[in-house]
Amino acid sequence: MLSERVCKIKPSATLAMDTKAKAMKAKGLDIVNFGVGEPDFDTPDHIKEAAIKAIREGFTKYTAVGGIDELKDAIIAKLKNDNGIDYAREEIIVSCGAKHSLYNIAQALYGPGDEVLIPSPYWVSYPDQVLLSDAVPVFVHTTEADSFMLKTELLESKITKKTKALILNSPSNPTGFIYDRKALEAIAAIAVKHNIYVIADEVYEKLVYDGHEHISIASLGKEIKALTIVVNALSKSHAMTGWRIGYAAGPKDIIKAMTNIQSQSTSNPNSIAQKAAVTALTGPQDSVGIMRAEFDKRRKFLVDGLNNIKGIRCLPPTGAFYVFPNVSALYGKKAGQRQINSSLDFALYLLEEAKVALVHGEAFGDDNYIRISYATSMENIEKALGRIREAVARLG
Ligand code: PMP
Ligand code: GLU
């Protein structure tokens, strides 16, 4: 018999769609994969070279559980220079990706009956990680009309004596929107007033467009910093998804608890990847800007293309590499015997009939939408847009 806890969770929908798309591709089908959020760029060469050097020098053994000091120092310098926040080594932990840091936070902070506020639409792993710690996810809905920004009155109305934390993801996966300073200040004031932790997932911080600025909520003052755990990773900023290096910065008692969890579960993150991460953070950053500029071009092209398809409405997002178009105008329509009544119906229709893989909005908490990752080439985007246009035109 499996544990009650594990029976409450499901596999990550984003990874599940990626697996499905890859399996169809392996069978020889010409699939365009808009499913997974993973940069299509290769890891920059100077970062790879640092890893090769680490192997040659025999840096292949266990390291300190929470990461080597050299990497912690590089993270501290990054948080200071990019985000204007000061941390000491005891306030930093390096984990096997941001997902692992988030999981350790959940295990360290949430317990039975605790409530964790999650703005919806949300990234797929937040609710399930809360459930794995026997706590209760409480969703705070955001709407397209508000550019998917949290309404502070609604947020405050969801706070109870059991509220432990708020998970805030800016730039957001799946909506692609970012919180500005004013909105963050309002959220920080509520968190401080009610003494709730803020888990600030900032993995897409380097991907902001149209002159917008990424602001870390922890930089807004001493009180909110004491309640915030900042989570970030090299995965998206430096095209290093497979290397599995993420980190968290926050109050030292929480970081210590997370380190204890890590010491009883994974031990240290990969030693070679840690050395590569030092180079990623301290070496030249040109590739970050080059990738951002390319994502920006694709974003504009994709948003225009989607808005030219009748029945699809897509707000231009300001960050990350996702668009989250509203497809609910297509619900009730049919192609032959097949009727589209939900985001899953539409995603499966596009996968099977148009060979385009994307993720249904329902997996992120809103069934009126689909999520498209534009971390794929311009040619693929152009090809997929044509296919989606044709498939939608067949619906009547
Ligand atoms: N947070 C968000 C919002 C994400 O989209 C992802 C997926 N990459 C993660 C965390 C996990 O990142 P990592 O691959 O570094 O574990
Ligand atoms: N975060 C990415 C996504 O949303 C990768 C998949 C995952 O980690 O779930 O597609």
Question: What is the 203 CA–ligand 1 centroid distance (Å)?
Answer: 6
Question: How high is the mean pLDDT of the chain?
Answer: 97
Per DSSP bridges, beta strands 370-373 and 359-360 are antiparallel
Lowest mean pLDDT: which of 11-20, 141-150, 182-191?
A: 11-20
Phi and psi of 39, rounded to 5°?
Answer: -55, 140
**pLDDT for 363:** 96
Ligand 1 atom with minimal separation from the 246 CA: 15
Cβ proximity of 98 and 244 under 8 Å: no
pLDDT band at 211 (very low <50, low <70, confident <90, very high): very high
pLDDT digits (tens, 9 = 90+) for 87-97: 999 999 999 99
Q: How confident is the model at residue 105 (pLDDT cuts 50, 70, 90)?
A: very high
Domain with CATH 3.40.640.10 in the chain: 60-282
Q: What is the pLDDT of residue 302?
A: 98
Distance (Å, whole) CA 338 – CA 214: 43
Distance 207 CA to ligand 2 centre (A): 16
**CATH number 3.40.640.10 given to 60-282:** yes
List, for residues 265-276, the tens digit of each pLDDT value.
999 999 999 999
CA-to-CA distance for 231 and 92, rounded, in angstroms?
10
Atom of ligand 1 nearest to the CA of 233: 15
Task: Note the pLDDT tens digit of each residue in 220-248.
Answer: 999 999 999 999 999 999 999 999 999 99
User: Relative to the CA of 173, which ligand 1 atom is closest?
Assistant: 3
Whose CA is closest to atom 5 on ligand 1? 173
Q: How far apart are CA 199 and CA 28, in angstroms?
A: 42
SS3 152: helix
Among all bound ligands, the one having the nearest atom to the CA of 19 is 2
359 lines ligand 2 (CB under 6 A): no
What CATH number belongs to 4-42+287-393?
3.90.1150.10
- Which residue is listed with tokens 């959940």? 106
The closest-lying atom of ligand 1 relative to the alpha carbon of residue 204 is 3
Residues of the chain within CATH 3.90.1150.10 domain(s) are: 4-42+287-393
- Residue 18 scores a pLDDT above 90: no
- Where does ligand 1 bind, in terms of residues with CB under 6 Å? 37, 97-99, 123, 169, 173, 201, 203, 233, 235, 241, 246
What is the average pLDDT across 186-192?
98
pLDDT digits (tens, 9 = 90+) for 175-184: 999 999 999 9
Q: How confident is the model at residue 207 (pLDDT cuts 50, 70, 90)?
A: very high
Asked whether the bond before 316 is cis by omega within 30 degrees of 0, the reply is no
- pLDDT, tens only, 350-385: 999 999 999 999 999 999 999 999 999 999 999 999
Ligand 2 touching residue 305 (CB < 6 A):
no
Residue among 14, 18, 102, 123 whose CB has most ligand 1 atoms within 8 A, to mutate: 123
Q: For the chain, list the strands marked E by DSSP.
A: 32-33, 92-95, 115-120, 136-141, 163-169, 197-201, 228-233, 246-249, 322-323, 334-335, 338-339, 356-357, 359-360, 370-373
pLDDT score for 17: 86
